[in-house]
Chain A
Amino acid sequence: MTQVKITQDALTGAITGRPAPDPVKSAPRRLAPHWVLESVRWLVPVLLVAFWQVASSVGWLNPRVLPAPTAVALAFWELARSGELWHHFLISLGRAGTGVLIGGGLGFALGILTGTFRAAHLLLDSSFQMVRTIPNLALIPLVILWFGIGESGKVFLIALATFFPVYLNTLHGVRSIDPKLTEMARVYGLSPLETFRRVSLPGALPSVLVGVRYALGISWLALVVSESFGASSGIGFLAMDAREFFRTDVIVLAILIYALIGKAADAVVRGLERRLLPWQVQA
């Protein structure tokens, strides 16, 4: 097409004496195919790992400091084949799961309570906020004294860590429900219980799920901490045990597993959000 159009740019160029931008260049840029964009994302991580491997192979990296990626893969294979890895993995998963269920469950229940009843909020909220400021790690000596070095201490630490994100987000979710909707429910003959079930609960759900997502993330943090003292099983124990024997490959493997589980937990909550909140306007 050779039709000449006077564009705004050309006009401006004519007036100011500056050359108009090349019309081809200013045309909307076509995005590359999806798979190209995806592979670009992975370019830097892949290059880093490749560099890491090369550095280890030629001897720049002391394996005592950082083992080669192949060594980590080998450790994974070795531990997976012996069944040791799954054993420790399931134990860690069980601890985190139990802790999240207890901490998150309590956080949800109490968040609903303080969000719904002014008296409960007045009575409990400031106490929770005070406890929230205590760093979990500071509690470890006390937790060991209370629970010994068994399972309950670990679950306690995880429950404590996951309580607050769920509690705070549930409270916020319940409180931020449009009072106009609850008023409507009243006019349309819903009982307080029905109003809670059909208005407050679904209205608070998006915020609750944000809390759950955060809680799952934090539960792994608490897990690492709780498994680094007096544990005789779990991924954390695996890493601590490997340290005794200078098995850096196993230590790096444990770290990688923690990272992957965190990522998986995040994906689970995202899936939950898509399932439970189909009415949310997708951005």
Chain B
Amino acid sequence: MTAAPVVRLPAPVSLRAGDGASVHVQNLTVKFGANTVLSDLTLDVAPGERVAVVGASGGGKTTLLRVLAGLTPHSAGQVQIRQASDTARVRVMFQEDRLLPWLGALDNVTLGLPRTERAFGLTALAGVGLADRADTYPHELSGGQRQRVALARALAHRPALLLLDEPFGALDALTRASMHTLLETLLDETGATTLLVTHDLDEALKLADRVILLRGGEVAEDVRPPAPRPRDRTALEPLRRHLEGQLL
């Protein structure tokens, strides 16, 4: 099975698809058996806002993301994801690339896209700098490149809500830094509401408008880093130290 020949429509210039979704989470409770992972959590995210969710392992960060993605059922409470114009499209970028090994990069990116939107695949792939690797199989790409393809896949769908589940956790520091820059540029372009789950405080403070710290399944901190992006690390140091104290 060779990768299907790709019909190359002229690629659209922009990945923007209207405003981002608004997210309303009210009194959300998630239990796994006797174990309460999220308890009575309330959270509102405005359209286009970038929220980082931090917290120690087992704090419920990933569970919150999975509930928003519709992958984990919740026991109680309400979750609403709304977009003004349309049904809100929610897409997830996972920690692992989760690319299909039998598809080339572009076919992976356009997976699940309606026929009329296939052309966005090439725009997204070009956006992550891999337009020339369109027919390359995942095993022929480096870990960082695979994660860029995964990012392109999420963006090609032009989601109203983009959920990032520790997407750079498995990358080396240098690759991670370049992914941060790339993500910022692309998010500026798409305007999607973004929820980034991470255990890396620096990452959270660098990329997000708002940092939420989860502890014991509840919101323990909800802060906005003061400086405009791109941010100077030294200006963030006091906030960083405060959050670090909350984490321990």
Residues of A within 8 A of B (CB): 180-181, 183-190, 194, 198-199, 202-203, 205, 275-281
Cβ–Cβ contact A180 & B100, under 8 A: no
Cβ–Cβ contact B153 & A187, under 8 A: no
* Contact stretch, chosen from B49-57, B89-97, B172-180: B89-97
Tell me which of A188, A190, A199 contacts B153 (CB under 8 A).
A188
Contacts A188-B153, A276-B1 hold; do A181 and B111 have CB atoms under 8 A apart? no
The reply to whether the CB of B229 lies closer than 8 angstroms to some CB of chain A is no
Cβ–Cβ contact A198 & B111, under 8 A: yes
Cβ–Cβ contact B1 & A188, under 8 A: no
Chain B residue, CB-CB nearest to A195: B112
Contacts A180-B94, A184-B94, A279-B101 hold; do A189 and B139 have CB atoms under 8 A apart? no
B138 partner residues in chain A, CB cutoff 8 A: 279
Tell me which of A186, A275, A278 contacts B71 (CB under 8 A).
A186
Lowest 5 CB-CB distances: which A-B pairs, in order?
A188-B112, A184-B98, A202-B102, A189-B112, A279-B102
Mark out the residues of chain B between 2 and 60 whose CB falls within 8 Å of any chain A CB in the assembled complex.
Answer: 2
Cβ–Cβ contact B100 & A188, under 8 A: no
The reply to whether the CB of B118 lies closer than 8 angstroms to some CB of chain A is no
Cβ–Cβ contact B157 & A188, under 8 A: yes
A172 to B: closest C-beta gap in Å: 18
B101 partner residues in chain A, CB cutoff 8 A: 279-280
A205 partner residues in chain B, CB cutoff 8 A: 1, 102
Per the bound structure, the CA–CA distance linking A278 and B104 in Å amounts to 11
A277 partner residues in chain B, CB cutoff 8 A: 1, 102
Mark out the residues of chain B between 99 and 133 whose CB falls within 8 Å of any chain A CB in the assembled complex.
Answer: 100-103, 111-112
Cβ–Cβ contact A188 & B102, under 8 A: no
Cβ–Cβ contact B96 & A187, under 8 A: no
Tell me which of A180, A185, A276, A281 contacts B96 (CB under 8 A).
A180
Per the bound structure, the CA–CA distance linking A184 and B111 in Å amounts to 10
The reply to whether the CB of B168 lies closer than 8 angstroms to some CB of chain A is no
Per the bound structure, the CA–CA distance linking A180 and B101 in Å amounts to 13
Chain A interface SS verdict (over half)? helix
Most chain-A Cβ atoms within 10 A of its Cβ — which of B100, B103, B153? B100
A202 partner residues in chain B, CB cutoff 8 A: 1, 100, 102
A186 partner residues in chain B, CB cutoff 8 A: 71
Per the bound structure, the CA–CA distance linking A185 and B112 in Å amounts to 8
The reply to whether the CB of B201 lies closer than 8 angstroms to some CB of chain A is no
Tell me which of A183, A194, A281 contacts B139 (CB under 8 A).
A281
A181 to B: closest C-beta gap in Å: 6
Cβ–Cβ contact B91 & A187, under 8 A: yes
- Cross-chain pairs A/B with CB under 8 angstroms, 28 sampled: A181-B100, A184-B92, A184-B94, A185-B111, A185-B112, A187-B69, A187-B70, A187-B71, A187-B90, A188-B91, A188-B112, A189-B89, A189-B112, A190-B111, A194-B112, A198-B103, A199-B100, A202-B100, A203-B102, A205-B1, A205-B102, A277-B1, A278-B1, A278-B2, A279-B1, A279-B137, A279-B139, A281-B139
Cβ–Cβ contact A188 & B71, under 8 A: no
B48 to A: closest C-beta gap in Å: 21
A199 partner residues in chain B, CB cutoff 8 A: 100
Per the bound structure, the CA–CA distance linking A39 and B221 in Å amounts to 74
Most chain-A Cβ atoms within 10 A of its Cβ — which of B2, B94, B98? B98
Chain B residue, CB-CB nearest to A187: B92
Per the bound structure, the CA–CA distance linking A198 and B103 in Å amounts to 9
Cβ–Cβ contact B100 & A183, under 8 A: no
A130 to B: closest C-beta gap in Å: 35
Contact with A along B136-173 (1 / 0, CB 8 A): 01110000000000000100010000000000000000
A180 partner residues in chain B, CB cutoff 8 A: 94, 96, 98
B91 partner residues in chain A, CB cutoff 8 A: 187-188
Contacts A186-B71, A190-B112 hold; do A181 and B2 have CB atoms under 8 A apart? no
Chain A residue, CB-CB nearest to B97: A184
Per the bound structure, the CA–CA distance linking A198 and B92 in Å amounts to 19
Given contacts A187-B70, A190-B111, A279-B103, 10 further A-B contacts (CB under 8 A): A183-B71, A186-B71, A187-B71, A187-B90, A188-B111, A188-B153, A198-B100, A205-B1, A279-B1, A279-B102
